[in-house]
Amino acid sequence: MKLPFFAVPVQAGFPSPAEDYLEQNLDLNEYLIQHPAATFFVRVDGDSMKGAGIHRGDILIVDRALEAANGKIVIAVVNGEFTVKRIRLAQDKIILEPENPQYMPLEIDKDADFRVWGVVTYVIHKCFS
């Protein structure tokens, strides 16, 4: 579904008339999803990534076609459990880092059942309830 898109930045100070700046319609699927066949959504439970702006109840857009490069936020499966963490690759080690000091990083050992399910590309966060 395409909705109106105003190309002018929204002022946080003195308001300006927006109707003069209507450029086109915006389809959020086209804007947010690069690989539709490889993309899924997941709802967050927990607060281990709040330092990255990911909060309980947020919806993550996850792309399975992207490479899980060092420093990316990923959805991973560790020993049968899903988690969202920042991946660090260093000296033949994989470390899943939380973005909350109350949680410890998780080093993936060679015996762990570990898979990356996808790379987080966007966070949908409800600002007001």
Tell me which residues are annotated as active site: 48, 85
Q: Which residues contact 31 (CB under 8 A, 6 or more apart)?
A: none
Q: How far is CA 36 from CA 6, 12, 20, 32, 105, in A?
A: 25, 34, 33, 10, 31
Q: What is the rounded CA–CA span in Å between residue 112 and residue 11?
A: 50
Supply the DSSP symbol for 118: E
Exposed / middle / buried, residue 77 (Cβ in 10 Å: 0-12, 13-18, 19+): middle
